[in-house]
Structures are given as C-alpha cells and as structure tokens.
Amino acid sequence: MADTKFIGKRWEEMETDVLVKIFKELNMIQLAPVSRVCRSWRLACSDPFIWNTLDLGLLQSNFIQTRASPYIWVDERSDKRLTRILRVAMALSRGNITSMIFHFNLYMKDDHLSYISEWSPHLRRLVMPAWNRITKVGICQAIRRWENLESLTMPSIAHPPYIMEEISRSCKNFSQLKVMGTFDMHFASAIATNLQKLKVLSLRCSIITKEALLYILNRMDNLEVLNISHCLLLEALATSGRKQVRSELDQSILQKASRIREFFHCQSSSCTTCKRMIEDEGLMRWYRYEDWFWRRDEVSTLDLGDYGKLFGKNCVNSLTA
Ligand SMILES: [Zn+2]
C-alpha cells in the first residue's frame, strides 16, 4: 500500500455540482474565503442553488424613535453592518439572488436599496423592511430595475399610489402582494387601479375598512387568493360616520368572497393572533412577539418558513461579535 500513488482529482477539479452541494452547507461569512481559493470554487460559490433566496430576516437595526421625520434615528454601526453584509452577498452571488427577505425593523437607506437593485437585478420576490428612510425616488428607481418582480411584501404606507404605479409600469409579471399595517380605501383604490392582474393578496393582521374590502372584492376580477385572517375590520356607522369594529364578516362580504378560490379569514376570541391584534389596537407591534411570528402567513406561497443557512444565527453572532 505504501507504494501505491494516490491518483485522484485535485480539489479545483471537483465537479461543480458536488462543490455546490458542499458549499450550500456554509453560511455567507464562511463562503467568502472559500470563494477566493480558485476560479472553479469561486464559480461554485455563486451558484443560484446557493443564492436563490437571501433571507436577512435575523438582521435588525439599532434605532430609537424620534418626533421629527423620518421618525427614526438609526445608529451608524447598524448602517455600516448592513453595507458590509450587502457587499459580501452581492459580490458572492453575482446577480443570482431571486428572492430577498428583510426584517421589518431594518431601517435601510436609499443607498442600500440602490446597491441591491444594481447588483441583484433579477429579483422576483422581495420582503421589504420599514420605509422610514427610503424615499419615493429611491424605491421607484429600484422597482424600475426589478422588471421580473412578481411578489412584494411591504409595511403599509400613507401614500401608496406611486409605488403601485411604478410596479404597474415596470413589473409585467407582478401577481402577489402582502401589506402589513393599515388597509383603507386609498390603498384599495391604488391596487385596483394599477394591479388588475393581481392574483394573491394578503392583508393578515391589518386594520381594514369594510369599504376597502368590498372595493377589492368588487373590482379585482383576477384575484384568486385573499387572506384577511386576524384583521380588525372597521365599519363606518351610517348615523355618525364613526368607525366601529365588526366582530364577524357579514353576508355581503362572504357572498362576494365566495368566488375567490382561497379565502382565508379568522376573527376568533380563542385565536392567539386575533387576541394580540386587539391588544395592539390593530397595529401589530411585531417586535413584542416571537421572532418567527411576523414571518407566518396562511397563504403558503407567502409564508417565509425557516431562516435558512445562508444568513443564520451564527452569521449574526459573528458579525456582531
Ligand atoms: Zn385569528
């Protein structure tokens, strides 16, 4: 045996799909030095199989709320950390990310957004963080680059039409929207006017007005899936115009919703999520609850599931250490 020479492949000659399977077990911090070993490893490290989904859902900013616009102060280290993570991710993935997920308590700036849209132009799915520091121009420029965008999850905003108009102009295959927050007539009409091809809409854990819900049901002919689970449904009183919470869906809503292939709703005093909505008076304070809580959705294609290996807890720890 001592005389037998080992005749085998060199590390750099390993089949790419074998390398990719091995590298998929690493997180992005571990991948960075691996990608510098040789050209074939570099190539394997950027494979779409590894980078398909970049889930940064464990990354939050350190912030305090302020009285003046943008109503938030974010510490510089949070911004620098995000810049560093994005640089590593964009350099390694080489445009192969198709799905990006951010924590809603991540306060990115236009610079970050612009950088992502430049280096990941093929996004099909985006779960947006908080809007505060992102300007109208910043988000519209990014959406213009993402012409393959099909699915967007976004915190609710006060003036939604400009985003819906930009999606309508730029993203021809857009079909799935999730709004987290408030859903009123203004929002409903922005969607109905601009996103007629929308197939999936989730408003779970939002405050919605009955008027806005009926507006969507009456006008969105292509809607196949609607989720209003654990929502606070408000109805204006005919006498005073004041809004009161409806404790159950009435026949007019149920009848119109019957044409929708999958209609999810839940208003129950025994449901934990409904109870939390009532305690929070309709504006869910997600940060109070378990880490995974905001990631759930009754619509399977919108549920975010586990964080994955690429940016897991180890990654967060090594960055903050
Ligand atoms: Zn519920």
Higher pLDDT, 287 or 320: 287
Alpha helix (H) ranges present in the chain? 16-23, 28-34, 39-45, 48-51, 76-93, 110-119, 136-145, 161-170, 185-194, 210-219, 251-257, 272-279, 313-320
- The rounded Å distance from CA 273 to ligand 1 centre is 5
- The rounded Å distance from CA 23 to ligand 1 centre is 40
Provide the mean pLDDT of the chain.
92
pLDDT at 321: 61
Q: What is the pLDDT of residues 38-53, one digit of tens each?
A: 999 999 999 999 999 9
- The rounded Å distance from CA 198 to ligand 1 centre is 24
Q: Predicted confidence band at 245 (pLDDT cuts at 50, 70, 90)?
A: confident
Q: How far is residue 168's CA from residue 256's CA, in Å, rounded to a whole number? A: 26
Q: What is the chain's length?
A: 321
- The rounded Å distance from CA 229 to ligand 1 centre is 6
pLDDT at 172: 97
CB 23 within 8 A of CB 44: yes
Q: With H, G, I as helix, E, B as strand and everything else as coil, classify residue 84.
A: helix
Mean pLDDT on 204-220: 96
- The rounded Å distance from CA 71 to ligand 1 centre is 31
Q: Predicted confidence band at 215 (pLDDT cuts at 50, 70, 90)?
A: very high
pLDDT at 14: 81
pLDDT at 5: 62
**What tokens does 248 get?**
């159950």
Q: With H, G, I as helix, E, B as strand and everything else as coil, classify residue 118.
A: helix
Amino acid in position 26: L
- The rounded Å distance from CA 56 to ligand 1 centre is 27
- The rounded Å distance from CA 234 to ligand 1 centre is 16
Which residues, by Cβ under 5 Å, contact ligand 1, an ion? 230, 266, 271, 273-274
pLDDT of 136 strictly over 90: yes
- The rounded Å distance from CA 101 to ligand 1 centre is 24
- The rounded Å distance from CA 216 to ligand 1 centre is 21
Q: Give residue 212's region: left, alpha or beta (phi > 0; psi -120 to 50).
A: alpha
pLDDT at 242: 78
Domain at 52-319, CATH from 3.80.10.10, 3.40.50.300, 3.60.110.10, 3.40.630.10 = 3.80.10.10
pLDDT of 319 strictly over 80: no
pTM of the predicted model as reported, rounded to 2 decimal places? 0.92
Angle, CA of 95, 98 and 102, to the nearest 5°: 105
pLDDT at 34: 95
- The rounded Å distance from CA 312 to ligand 1 centre is 29
Q: Which among 102, 61, 110 has a CA at the least distance from the CA of 81?
A: 61
Mean pLDDT on 267-293: 92
Q: What is the pLDDT of residues 64-101, one digit of tens each?
A: 989 988 888 999 999 999 999 999 999 999 999 999 99
Task: Give phi and psi for 78, each to the nearest 5.
Answer: -60, -45
